Amino acid sequence: MRIFLLFFSLILAAFAATAAWAVPLIEYHMQMKPSPEGQKRVALTFDACTGKTDTRILDALVKNEIKATIFVTGRWLKRNPEAIATFKAHPELFEIENHGAQHLPAIDVPQLLYGLKPAGSPAAVSAEVEDGAAAVQTHFYHWPHWYRGAGGEYTASSLELIKSLGFEVGGFTTTPDDKGIALPANVRLRFVAWPEIEKVLLRYGVLTIDCADNKLLQLDVAQPTFSAESFEQYCDEKVEEGKKKRHEEW
């Protein structure tokens, strides 16, 4: 146990370059047209990735009648029936669009994006996009028009592919700091607790910690000298133990 905790702390604190080559990625941005009346406007969007719903945000949107576009994944839709019911009850406020089936970056080469494993091929990108759209149609009875990929970055060829499938790509102008990947390692440690963790992956020199409250903590690390599979198996066991202590407060 002590050895594991030492490894865990060292991995979280260590930075190392892992990619020997990289295809240029495009971060897709959009700008709203100025209002004819000269009023300032903002288009509010949220990505519903893989975790649970933060009801504080959703309740505030409903209470204040704030319109928003929600990009949902197929994984998220399976876990959040209450939020789905809220969206359906307020069609005047929420537009539901496509964030993919499994929350895989829509990158058609095997290149990690913020530690996330990408779709990795044109066929897999197509499946991620179209299966995500099918999940939206299943729950909301319409085929989505917009798509935003996990991580919000694409190759030039994957952008072209997505558009050829009939989707507009939903970009952004700015994103808030969600206290996730942008924080230094010593701060990230404060957010890690077994009852909050859904999955730990140690692959290709990247440690990814997927937390239950939609925090995604990722860090480039040196290639470990121990077995990544054994590390993940141990983490799976600790996660299962932690779930018994979890408070459903989010």
Q: Would you state the pLDDT for residue 192?
A: 62
Q: pLDDT tens digits, residue range 74-90? A: 999 999 999 999 999 99
Domain membership of residue 137 (yes or no) is yes
User: Is the per-residue pLDDT at 19 higher than 70?
Assistant: no
Q: Are residues 163 and 195 in the same domain?
A: no
User: Is the per-residue pLDDT at 48 higher than 90?
Assistant: yes
Q: Are residues 138 and 190 in the same domain?
A: no
Q: Where is the domain boundary, 169, 189, 210? A: 169
User: Is the per-residue pLDDT at 12 higher than 70?
Assistant: no
The more confident residue out of 244 and 136 is 136
Say how far apart CA 211 and CA 198 lie, in whole Å: 5
Residue 62's CATH number: 3.20.20.370
Q: pLDDT tens digits, residue range 179-207? A: 444 445 554 555 567 777 888 888 777 78
Percent of the chain with pLDDT over 70: 78
Q: Are residues 140 and 221 in the same domain?
A: no
Domain membership of residue 250 (yes or no) is no
213 pLDDT band, cuts 50/70/90, is low
The more confident residue out of 205 and 228 is 228
* Cβ neighbours of residue 40 closer than 8 Å, sequence gap 6 or more: none
**Predicted TM-score of the model (pTM):** 0.66
Domain membership of residue 36 (yes or no) is no
Name the domain count of the chain: 2
Which letter does DSSP use for residue 113 in this model? B
Q: Are residues 156 and 69 in the same domain?
A: yes
Whole domain around residue 155: which residue ranges? 26-31+42-169
Q: Are residues 124 and 199 in the same domain?
A: no
Q: Are residues 156 and 189 in the same domain?
A: no
Say how far apart CA 95 and CA 87 lie, in whole Å: 8
Q: Tell me the angle at which helices 228-243 and 2-13 cross, rounded to the nearest 10 degrees.
A: 110
Q: Are residues 77 and 161 in the same domain?
A: yes
Q: Are residues 62 and 112 in the same domain?
A: yes
Q: pLDDT tens digits, residue range 99-142? A: 999 999 999 999 888 778 899 999 999 999 999 999 999 999 99
Domain membership of residue 37 (yes or no) is no
Q: Are residues 128 and 216 in the same domain?
A: no
Q: Label the pairing between strands 68-72 and 94-98.
A: parallel
Domain membership of residue 190 (yes or no) is yes
